[in-house]
Every structure is written in C-alpha cells, then in structure tokens.
Copies of this chain bind each other. A is one copy, B any other.
C-alpha cells in the first residue's frame, strides 16, 4: 500500500526561498558572534533525559521533552499500556534537547577543568518541544545562542558584550529599528521587598504588572489585591516607584542592583549600542525566575506584537544540577523564526527575493550544447550561479523554465548567438534586455548582480 507523504503535526518543510533566507541570517549571526570573540560549540541533539529534566529552565513541563529510543522492532513485542494504547516499551533514557542552555551547562560541568575561562561560545541549532501544535508554533525550531561562562564572578561588562553582539548582528542584517528593554532581577526583588513586603508572591505581582499598559492602573490595583493580597496603599507606592524608574535610596541592596543595571547600559553604549535603542523597563518581568541579574528583551518597532526576538540575561547558577563548582553565565538567544516573522511583517530589513540565483542559461538546439557546457564552466569558475537544462530545447519550454527558475537573469543561446558571439541578457524581474558578448557574459552578469544588490 502506498504511504502517505505527510509530515507529523507541528513539523514543517522549509521551502527553498525561505531556507535560503534562513541560511543568510544564520551566516550573518555566526559572523557577528565570531567578531565578538565567541567560538562555535556543537552538542548532540540527543541527551540523557535526566540531564534535560533536571534543569529548572523555562520549559513548562517534563512532557514537552521528546523521548528518543532505539528499538529493535523485529525483536520487540508490542504491549498495551495502562491507557489501552498499543505500542512498545521504551526505557525513558534519552530525549531531544529543548534548548541550547541545558546542553551548555552539561558541557561546562563535564569539561570545566579543561576549558579556558571566560568560555565564550555560540550555538545555532535546532531544538524540539512537544508543545501542542498551533498556528505559528512549531515543535522544531532554531535557536541562536551566545553565552559567556566564567569560573569567577561575571561583571556588567560581560552582560554588555552580549547586548553589543546582538546589536551588531541586527545591524549586519540591515535591521535598524530594534530596541532593547533591560531590567535587573535583583532590583525588582528589592523594590518589591521595600514596597509590598517580603511575604508578597513576587511572581503573581509581576504577572499583574505585566498587564498594566493594557488594562490601566485601576484594574492593576484591584488585581494586586485579589491576586497577590497587596493593599491599595502599598500597591500605589509600588506603582509610583515604577513610574519614577529606579531612583536610588530604597536600600543598599537595591542601590547595588541599580548600579549593576546602569553599568550594563553604559558599557553597552561604550561598546557601540546607540543609547536611544536601550530602555530601562522596571516592569520587564519575563523569565526573571531563571535569571539572577541583568536581563534583556528585544523588539522590532512596528512588530512588537510578535514578541521579543532576542532575550537573555545573567544566570549565576548554570551548572548547579550537576553538583560541579559554580559557573556563572550571561548571554542571550535570538529566536530565528520570530526574527523572520518580525522582518516579514514589516516587509523590510530583509533581502529575501524570489530570484536569489544569478543566471538561467537556455539552449535552443542540441547543436549548442557543447558551447553551453563551456559557458557553464566559465560562469561558475567566476562565481556566477547558473541553472541550465541543455537537454530541453523547445523554445517555449526554455523560456518558461527560465521564468520559473530562481534566477534573476536569463540568456538563451541558439545558432545565431554562437556564430555572432553575442546574446541578450534578460532581466527576469524588469523584462529589460541588454546585448552582451558571450566572452564577457560572466563579467557582465556579475556587474548587473552587484549593481542590483547595491541599489
């Protein structure tokens, strides 16, 4: 019986034009990461489940991890599970990684003694999450992480380097309308302690504050009471302090945290991040459970609804699950799909094109095939990308193949072109034609291409 050629729910194919754009983005990120002194590290897609589940990372539940097993189906007998499901017994040993931070922690715990610190690595790779599939949410996606790990205390300089790296990467991608929201987890904690007291459920308070812009102060005061048991007077003090930004003087601990945050911003600016792109946002709350110091989220103007395209911060207890010595870390992760979505929603900052390759070379009759092979060899030796099908010689089919190819220009050679040594280059986007000598074809296509890329 024929097998259905489907992909599992939550997984998808990435079509050529989009796949090429993803390659371009990844290459720009790698270059930016290296420029900032990070080196690549690759870890396996498959880790021991206990390595994955032992972490207190942002992932919601154990059931989001895909289990991996190598079963000999020829030998295994099928069994029926408690829920009546037929299947095979797998020991719960292996799983697919759900982020790139847990594998980094495992790597550092394993190799810490041999590494040179600060250990600066980037990692661009796929991760898998067994989330309920829904619109725009995939079970397999690409993360682009950059982290600095130390065997002593990290400083705001290390946090700022990560921020400057992300800014540099965005600029290299032609993005200039991104902005960073930064905060400091300890500053938030100390602010809450000083205004609403130790007993308050910080997570609940932050959840409510997160909605402030949407629902307004009245509703927030109400919810702070009902959700977090904070009386109205305390809640008002809290909101006032938030509105005043991080004015120092609440406590020594608070002031130290605010200094750490300010230093972070100042050094990032010194390292090249335009000051106007950084906003201190005391209500920035997401992911605070995981981080221990400065944190950042990144948005694209006009595409804020898509969410943060680059998030990160300081985590001082990277390897604690492995019982190894303490290794603090700081870094961030660019979400490739979100970044793409943000760029696409604006129709800007991207060079994605339907015609990314250079030239379609058509051939009108079998007599010109030898000439075509020669041209192909020359063009490619000069770095021109060419699609050709010298075995297709029906004029209509040749023109249609050129038009449907991913090439920007087309040249078709027949008897006349070969004898005169001249042919017409057609711009498949504008329809414009230019005559060119076949001897100069490679040079001419490169000129046209480079002029097009520059405009």
Check: A143 CB closer than 8 A to any chain B CB. Answer: no
B80 with A88: CB separation less than 8 A = no
**Size category, A interface:** 35 or more
Q: How many copies of the shown chain assemble into the complex?
A: 2
Which residues of B have CB within 8 Å of A72?
A: 61-63
B90 with A386: CB separation less than 8 A = no
Which residues of B have CB within 8 Å of A106?
A: 5, 7
Determine the distance from Cα of A390 to Cα of B72 in the docked complex, in whole angstroms: 55
Check: A357 CB closer than 8 A to any chain B CB. Answer: yes
Q: Give the segment of A114-122, A220-228, A337-345, A430-438 that binds chain B.
A: A114-122
Which residues of B have CB within 8 Å of A139?
A: 46
The residue that A39 contacts in the complex, of B40, B54, B324, B406, with Cβ under 8 A, is: B406
The residue that A8 contacts in the complex, of B14, B37, B47, B85, with Cβ under 8 A, is: B47
Which residues of B have CB within 8 Å of A203?
A: none
Check: A34 CB closer than 8 A to any chain B CB. Answer: yes
Closest partner residue, chain B, to A71 (CB atom): B67
Which residues of B have CB within 8 Å of A243?
A: none
A81 with B86: CB separation less than 8 A = no
Which residues of B have CB within 8 Å of A391?
A: 155, 157-158
A34 with B322: CB separation less than 8 A = no
Which residues of B have CB within 8 Å of A389?
A: 118, 157
A405 with B116: CB separation less than 8 A = yes
Which residues of B have CB within 8 Å of A407?
A: 37
Looking at the assembled complex, report how far the CB atom of A302 sits from the nearest CB atom of chain B, in whole angstroms.
26
Determine the distance from Cα of A272 to Cα of B6 in the docked complex, in whole angstroms: 39
Q: Which residues in chain A, 361-395, are within 8 Å of chain B measured between CB atoms?
A: 369-370, 373-374, 376-377, 380-381, 383-391
Q: Give the segment of A16-24, A174-182, A184-192, A445-453 that binds chain B.
A: A16-24
Decide yes or no: A322 and B380 within 8 Å by CB, A41-B15, A70-B66 being known contacts. no
A45 with B77: CB separation less than 8 A = no
Check: A69 CB closer than 8 A to any chain B CB. Answer: yes
Looking at the assembled complex, report how far the CB atom of A453 sits from the nearest CB atom of chain B, in whole angstroms.
15
Check: A290 CB closer than 8 A to any chain B CB. Answer: no
The dominant DSSP class at the A interface is mixed
Which residues of B have CB within 8 Å of A130?
A: 70
Which residues of B have CB within 8 Å of A267?
A: 373
Which residues of B have CB within 8 Å of A61?
A: 72, 74
Check: A59 CB closer than 8 A to any chain B CB. Answer: no
Which residues of B have CB within 8 Å of A51?
A: 3, 5-6
Determine the distance from Cα of A267 to Cα of B366 in the docked complex, in whole angstroms: 13
Check: A94 CB closer than 8 A to any chain B CB. Answer: yes
Q: Which residues in chain A, 254-304, are within 8 Å of chain B measured between CB atoms?
A: 267, 270-272
The residue that A66 contacts in the complex, of B15, B68, B323, with Cβ under 8 A, is: B68
Check: A140 CB closer than 8 A to any chain B CB. Answer: yes
The residue that A42 contacts in the complex, of B19, B96, B323, with Cβ under 8 A, is: B19
Q: Which residues in chain A, 71-116, are within 8 Å of chain B measured between CB atoms?
A: 71-77, 79-83, 85-94, 96, 105-107, 109-111, 116
The residue that A5 contacts in the complex, of B88, B109, B357, with Cβ under 8 A, is: B109
B91 with A86: CB separation less than 8 A = yes
Closest partner residue, chain B, to A18 (CB atom): B42
Check: A43 CB closer than 8 A to any chain B CB. Answer: yes
Residues of A in contact with B (beta carbons under 8 Å apart): 1-8, 11-17, 19-20, 22-23, 27, 30, 34-37, 39-48, 50-51, 54, 61-77, 79-83, 85-94, 96, 105-107, 109-111, 116, 118, 120-121, 126, 128, 130, 139-140, 155, 157-158, 164, 168, 267, 270-272, 319, 321-324, 356-357, 369-370, 373-374, 376-377, 380-381, 383-391, 401, 404-407
| 30 pairs of residues in contact across A and B, judged by CB atoms under 8 Å | A2-B323, A3-B54, A5-B107, A5-B109, A5-B319, A5-B324, A6-B51, A7-B110, A8-B48, A13-B107, A14-B41, A16-B39, A20-B40, A22-B42, A23-B30, A35-B384, A37-B357, A45-B128, A46-B139, A65-B70, A68-B68, A69-B90, A85-B89, A87-B89, A88-B89, A90-B90, A120-B387, A164-B377, A271-B373, A272-B377
